[in-house]
């Protein structure tokens, strides 16, 4: 049980997201009119036509809810979260130096004798004859697709901590050993959460490492480098979620497999577009976690891109993924022009 759930059960006003307060207030209104009300609470549930896996009957009873009765006690408890947030931010500010090297202790040099004294060398005489660059030959322009793809995969996976791979291995085993329903609803969302640090490098690694001058000046960087980046991210997505796909395939869950495939296309497309547009890994990390929390975890079905609790809304996310790829290409083309 999470801390938010414990706080919500103790006092609905202390539940961080405020959903417990809404549930408590609306539940009291329902209980007053229907004493047999057992406390069930759902927001945004689709109809049976919208989701073939969830069979919901039309509402048989209707009650009027006039909203939350805002008392001074509730308002003070809700404002306490603002005070806690400010306090956490102030505490963190004491330890965050904004990467200012002047606030860090200088590193000690172990052996000063090993430092060689620079020698003065006279500059060579310049030649008056002009220098001509040798034109590229056809063989130099040859594009080795598989070599570029393997290089992109190495760049994506390089520098990751060992425990990240250990966690993904654990989720791989869990995806095979659990029931298809458990694998789809619980294992897959967390399986495709931990590689976020891998995906977030798509589309912005050149800017972050200050190598865009070399990469953007290479032959056809738009049509050679960007597609291999997306494909490398797609392969990582496929590999990390393959155990759940095998589980769904064995169970004959075609709806779950389609949702899985749709998500496997959407995730690298979203990461690539976010990276190219923002030139940073942070935009994707923030947006993806937000979408992941709202859709698969809180069962808001229109944004459940994983299909953890729905059909994955593939009629939206597959075309949207293609749109994101186009946006990434257009944005990169503008970067190359500038």
Cα torsion through 31, 34, 36, 41, rounded to 10: -60
Whole-Å CA distances, 157 to 152, 164, 213, 255: 9, 10, 23, 31
In the structure encoding, which two tokens stand for residue 201, read together?
């490098």
Say what the pLDDT of residue 331 is.
92
Residues 280 and 156 in one domain: yes
Q: Among residues 53, 68, 95, which one ends one of the domains?
A: 95
Q: Does the residue 133 lie in any domain? A: no
In a domain, 297, yes or no: yes
Q: Are residues 91 and 162 in the same domain?
A: no
pLDDT per residue as tens digits for the range 245-302 = 999 999 999 999 999 999 999 999 999 999 999 999 999 999 999 999 999 988 888 9
> Same domain, yes or no, for 54 and 187?
no
Q: Residue 142, exposed/middle/buried by CB under 10 A (0-12, 13-18, 19+)?
A: exposed
**Model pLDDT, residue 213:** 82
Report how far apart, in Å, the C-alpha atoms of 145 and of each of 17, 136, 315 are. 48, 19, 31
Whether residue 224 is found in the same domain as residue 149: yes
133 Cβ partners below 8 Å, 6+ apart? none
Q: State pTM to two decimals.
A: 0.65
233 and 158 share one domain: yes
- Whether 130 is in a domain gets the answer no
Kindly state whether residue 114 falls inside one of the protein's structural domains: no
32 class by beta-carbon count within 10 Å (0-12 exposed, 13-18 middle, 19+ buried): exposed
Q: Do 155 and 229 lie in a common domain?
A: yes
CA–CA gap between residue 176 and residue 215 (Å, rounded): 40
The span from the CA of 151 to the CA of 218, in Å, is 15
Q: How many domains does the chain have?
A: 2
Q: In whole angstroms, how far apart are CA 67 and each of 26, 64, 128, 181, 218?
A: 7, 9, 86, 36, 61
Q: Measured between alpha carbons, how far is residue 200 from residues 108, 177, 254 in Å? A: 35, 29, 29
Same domain (yes/no): 78, 222: no
Instruction: Give, in order, the Cα–Cα distances in Å from 192 to each of 82, 111, 118, 133, 184.
Output: 31, 47, 52, 48, 11
Packed helices 254-278 and 221-251: angle between N→C axes, nearest 10 degrees: 150
Do 180 and 324 sit in the same domain of this protein? yes
State which H helix or E strand residue 156 sits in: helix 145-157
What is the distance between the alpha carbons of residues 148 and 151, in angstroms, rounded to a whole number?
A: 5
In a domain, 252, yes or no: yes
Phi, psi of 138 (to 5 degrees): -65, -40
Domain that holds residue 161: 145-337
DSSP, res 126: P
Assess whether 207 and 86 both reside in one domain.
Answer: no
- For residues 149 and 217, membership in a common domain is answered with yes
Q: Per residue of the chain (338 residues), what is the pLDDT tens digit?
A: 445 555 556 677 777 777 788 888 888 888 888 888 877 777 655 544 445 455 556 667 788 888 888 888 888 888 888 888 899 988 888 877 666 666 666 666 555 555 566 677 666 665 566 666 666 555 555 568 888 899 899 988 888 888 989 999 999 999 999 999 999 999 999 999 999 999 999 989 888 888 888 888 777 888 888 999 999 999 999 999 999 999 999 999 999 999 999 999 999 999 999 999 999 999 999 999 999 999 998 888 899 999 998 898 999 999 999 999 999 999 999 988 87
Residue 174 is classified by DSSP as H
Residue 320 inside a domain? The answer is yes
77 and 189 part of one domain: no
Cα dihedral 256, 260, 261, 266 in deg (nearest 10): 140
Asked whether residue 198 is domain-assigned, the answer is yes
Quick check: is 206 in a domain?
A: yes
Could you tell me if 72 and 184 lie in one domain?
Answer: no
């Amino acid at each position: 049980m999470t801390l938010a759930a414990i706080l919500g059960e103790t006092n609905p006003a202390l539940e961080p997201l405020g959903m417990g307060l809404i549930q408590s207030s609306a539940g009291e209104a329902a209980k007053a009119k229907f004493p047999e009300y057992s406390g069930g609470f759902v927001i945004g549930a689709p109809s049976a036509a919208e989701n073939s896996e969830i069979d919901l009957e039309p509402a048989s009873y209707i009650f009027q809810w006039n909203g939350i009765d805002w008392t001074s006690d509730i308002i003070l408890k809700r404002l306490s979260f603002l005070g806690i947030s400010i306090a956490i931010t102030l505490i963190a500010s004491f330890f965050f130096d904004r990467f200012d090297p002047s606030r860090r202790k200088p590193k000690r040099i172990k052996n000063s004798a090993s430092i060689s004294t620079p020698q003065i060398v006279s500059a060579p005489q310049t030649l008056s004859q002009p220098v001509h660059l040798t034109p590229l030959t056809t063989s130099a322009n040859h594009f080795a697709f598989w070599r570029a793809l393997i290089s992109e995969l190495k760049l994506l996976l390089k520098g990751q901590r060992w425990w990240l791979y250990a966690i993904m291995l654990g989720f791989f085993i869990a995806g095979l050993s659990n029931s298809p329903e458990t694998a789809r609803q619980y294992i897959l969302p967390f399986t495709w959460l931990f590689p976020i640090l891998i995906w977030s490098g798509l589309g912005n690694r050149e800017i972050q490492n200050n190598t865009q001058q070399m990469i953007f000046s290479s032959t056809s960087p738009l049509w050679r480098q960007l597609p291999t980046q997306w494909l490398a991210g797609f392969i990582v997505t496929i590999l990390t979620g393959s155990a759940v796909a095998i589980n769904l395939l064995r169970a004959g869950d075609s709806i779950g497999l389609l949702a899985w495939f749709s998500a496997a296309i959407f995730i690298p497309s979203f990461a690539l577009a976010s990276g190219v547009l923002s030139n940073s890994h942070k935009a994707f990390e923030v947006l993806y976690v937000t979408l992941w929390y709202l859709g698969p975890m809180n069962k808001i079905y229109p944004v459940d891109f994983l299909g953890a609790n729905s059909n994955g809304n593939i009629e939206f996310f597959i075309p949207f993924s293609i749109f994101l790829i186009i946006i990434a290409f257009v944005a990169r083309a503008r970067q190359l022009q500038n």
